[in-house]
Structure 1
Amino acid sequence: MSIGRRGFLRGAVAGGALTPLLAGAAAPAHATAAAAAPGASPTGGGGGAVFRWLGTSGWRIDMPGRPSVLVDPFLTRFSTGLFDPDREFDAATRLTVDAGTVDEHTADIGDGGVVLVTHTHWDHFSDVPHIATTTGAQVVGTLTTYHLAQAMGVPVGQTSPVRGGEVLDFDGCVVEVVSSRHSRNANHSVTFAGVRVEVPGKPATIADLPEGDTLAFQVTPPSGPSVFFMGASDFAEREVAGLAPDVAMVALPSTSSTHEYVPRLLEALERPGTVVPVHWDHFERALANPPVDGTGKGMSVAEFTALVRRVSPGSRVVVPEYLTPYTF
């Protein structure tokens, strides 16, 4: 079986870049997204939370007077062959951390910083141990996250295992943990499936980081808005019922194995005012704007935008650029 991006099915990689903002019908005023000017204060225009996309499904959330929250921070870019039509995907690719780049964007998150991990595939987790050990941040994730973090040097006191259903308070920032599901490839399966039920030996390759079950998170800063974060393109309706976020960070599907994924998700989330596509970029290229579309044979951002407009015409689609401050 040949393996490719995110859903781990090889496809041709589109080489074009995308327009930063694609707006659907007007969203309700309270849920409309506005991009702050580059270089703006990290406190944002109105003293509210500021969100920066770190690529893949990664985000940084900065809140005035409080430590930052990170979601799936993956900033190191290295080649596995995932996007390269001239070579095979290499499951034995060695894990590496670009400490300079990671530190540049995470070292100042502040005492009491939090890292939320949706699952432990390398493009979501492999930078997390470095961030935790250099900043003292608390790592929140599955039992597999808990065990792998310790295997990679994170003190047990900095690791918080969760299952879904928890409602956590981090200095006034409320984090609802949601049991979720990982994307399915064309064989209706998951690459690097499995869990870690105890602390293993130190991982050395990307194959040493299994999916480890998948979570989603709804984060509500003290001043709002409520934002739903996904790390993979599947979910369970019963688990997201009643969340009704203002903003949804939606992972794009790479296959059609999950039935009516986008329409079902938007309905289950009660059609958020703002929808932001994530996990669509070529995450083995430099972290530089404009991002390069890495969807290959999966759903493109343009296709996703058209689908959102059709099934949730009151939602606005905001296509993010790397490290750009957004307020919602």
Structure 2
Amino acid sequence: MSLPGTAAAAPAPLSGPGATLRWLGVAGWELSANGRRVLFDPYLSRMEYRVPGGSAINERGRLALRPDLVDRTITEAPELIMVSHGHWDHVADVPHLLARFPAARVVCGRSTAFLLEAWDVPRTRMIVVRGGENLEFGGLSVQVVPSLHSMTAEHAYLLPGELSAKPRPPRTLGELVEGETFAFQVGFGTREVLLFGATNYAERELAGLTPDVLVASMTSWKPVHAYPARLVRALGSPPLTVASHHDDMITSLDSPDLPATINTAGPAAFRTEVAAAGLVTNVHEPTHRKPFTV
């Protein structure tokens, strides 16, 4: 499949001091550079989410968090935690991280903020955004990009809904509704890293963004027209694309079977569709918890 327009030239190699990225599994990332550290969608509990004997989401499934695993994996304090949307596999471990690191703040949408309030996170710890903000933190910038969630094969959204008031403390997976969905472009001065928490986007919202590194969700994109090619083209062919959200979401981070849970077919298909459109980006497949510098 190709899209109209001229093919992009090969991306220029990255140069100068870089940023270090560490995949936390699912859509979670730790980013650091110049002594600064931020987290994106840090979900490490990896609880069972399927109905017994099936693959559908068990909306009545009880939250079964693993703070011990979170503490063993996240050992250095972040100054910011960015949350793309309100589903369990993006926000469920955030209240524990905020309690453990009292100087950290969370950047999230209004609906997710109500969820966090239900978990007794005070509003003073939150930066509640609408999308379109470009936030400055003294040498660290965060641009908030309105985005979209992944879709099912029937073109439906998973656990949709928005909260307009503080609910009761969530006890089940189904109570963690999507709310608003955002992508975040993090600037460390020498690097701009754009992170998506779901396999979809609003193309018009990407105008003018030219990240050095694209962290792209690679769950199934069959319901989304030309997902890889439109994304890479809209962002001006980023030099590097990093695969994300392409493991089984369940196997524990300390399991020896973890490498086998990575879906390598997603990155392979991403490369194929981008090349077929006459575009170029280098696609990197990360290893769980292994830092790499970009």
| Structure 1 residue 81 corresponds to structure 2 residue 44 | no
Aligned residue for 2:249?
283
Aligned residue for 2:289?
323
SS of equivalent residue, structure 2 residue 261: coil
Residue type of the alignment partner of 2:249: F
Aligned residue for 1:99?
67
Whole-angstrom distance in 2 between the partners of 1:203 and 1:165: 29
Unaligned runs of 5+ in 1: 1-24, 32-45
SS of equivalent residue, structure 1 residue 285: coil
Aligned residue for 2:165?
198
Q: Cα deviation per residue 1:114-155 (whole Å; 9 max; x = unaligned)?
A: 000000111111011111121122011110111111111211
| Structure 1 residue 51 corresponds to structure 2 residue 21 | yes
Q: How far is the alpha carbon of 1:87 from its aligned partner?
A: 6.5
RMSD between superposed Cα atoms in Å: 2.1
278-287 vs 305-314, which moves further: 305-314
Whole-angstrom distance in 1 between the partners of 2:217 and 2:81: 19
Instruction: Choose which of 81, 86, 106 in structure 2 pairs with 1:139.
Output: 106
Q: How far is the alpha carbon of 1:312 from its aligned partner?
A: 5.4
Whether the 8 Å contact between 1:28 and 1:314 is mirrored in structure 2 is no
Whether the 8 Å contact between 2:11 and 2:237 is mirrored in structure 1 is no
State how 1:238-253 maps to structure 2 within 5 Å: 238-253=204-219
Whether the 8 Å contact between 1:281 and 1:294 is mirrored in structure 2 is yes
Q: How far is the alpha carbon of 1:300 from its aligned partner?
A: 2.6
Q: How far is the alpha carbon of 1:305 from its aligned partner?
A: 2.4
Q: Cα deviation per residue 1:62-85 (whole Å; 9 max; x = unaligned)?
A: 22333x100000111211227x86
Q: How far is the alpha carbon of 1:205 from its aligned partner?
A: 0.6
Residue type of the alignment partner of 2:187: T
State how 1:257-296 maps to structure 2 within 5 Å: 257-287=223-253, 288=255, 289-294=258-263
| TM value normalised by structure 2 | 0.89
Aligned residue for 1:30?
14
Whole-angstrom distance in 2 between the partners of 1:313 and 1:194: 36
Q: How far is the alpha carbon of 1:260 from its aligned partner?
A: 1.3
Residue type of the alignment partner of 1:105: T
Whole-angstrom distance in 2 between the partners of 1:310 and 1:275: 16
Whether the 8 Å contact between 1:283 and 1:294 is mirrored in structure 2 is no
Whole-angstrom distance in 1 between the partners of 2:226 and 2:74: 36
Q: How far is the alpha carbon of 1:253 from its aligned partner?
A: 4.1
Which of structures 1 and 2 has the larger relative contact order (alpha carbons within 8 angstroms, sep 6+)?
Answer: 1
| TM value normalised by structure 1 | 0.80
Q: Percent identity at matched positions?
A: 37
Instruction: Choose which of 58, 74, 96 in structure 2 pairs with 1:90.
Output: 58
Unaligned runs of 5+ in 2: 1-8
Whole-angstrom distance in 2 between the partners of 1:167 and 1:326: 26
